[in-house]
Amino acid sequence: MTKPSTSFWIISVLALIWNLMGVNQYIMQAYNTDSFRANFTESQLALIDATPAWATAAFAIAVFAAALGCILLLLRKKWATTLFIISFIAIIVQNIDGFNRYNFSDYNGFSIAMTVMIPLIGLFLIGYAKQAEKKGWIA
């Protein structure tokens, strides 16, 4: 393996922080915390509460696989790529539910931005891990 650049460490740590925020969001939603519920209207909470189990499972797989992928990236293990791919597939599965059950009028600007950013960051992490593998930074 070759020594990674400083940007590798910065990107890997930022990606881990991003994905740990996703893990936190999942835990708050799964445990239905008051702080989570305070962010939504009653109609939005009704939609969230009606989320099917398969979509909730996809959410869990997406955030935990990506967080673990970031940890493996920091440990310079190529399994990170596989976990990022699993996470991305789970993101797509989760979004299928959202696109089928929500109206775009239910989304605010932040929600729309996150709906676009999350899969884009997932794709970026797949590509970045593959690039790190090619450069010999992870093995």
pLDDT tens, 122-131?
A: 999 999 999 9
Residue 22 has pLDDT above 70, yes or no: yes
pLDDT band at 101 (very low <50, low <70, confident <90, very high): confident
Q: Tell me the CB-side half-sphere exposure of residue 79, using CA atoms within 13 A.
A: 8
| Structure-model confidence comparison of residues 94 and 40, the more confident one | 94
Q: Are 90 and 61 in contact (CB under 8 A)?
A: yes
For residues 82 and 7, what is the distance between their CA atoms, to the nearest angstrom? 21
pLDDT of amino acid 111: 79
For residues 129 and 110, what is the distance between their CA atoms, to the nearest angstrom? 28
pLDDT of amino acid 124: 98
Q: Which residue has the tokens 């909730």?
A: 56
Residue 115 has pLDDT above 70, yes or no: yes
For residues 133 and 138, what is the distance between their CA atoms, to the nearest angstrom? 5
Residues 6+ apart with CB under 8 A from 17: none
SS3 call for 93: helix
Residue 56 has pLDDT above 70, yes or no: yes
Q: How many CB atoms lie within 10 A of CB 34?
A: 8
Mean pLDDT score of the chain: 94
Q: How many CB atoms lie within 10 A of CB 128?
A: 21
pLDDT band at 106 (very low <50, low <70, confident <90, very high): low
| Residue whose C-alpha is closest to residue 122's, from 77, 90, 75, 76 | 90
pLDDT band at 99 (very low <50, low <70, confident <90, very high): confident
| Residue whose C-alpha is closest to residue 137's, from 71, 78, 67 | 78
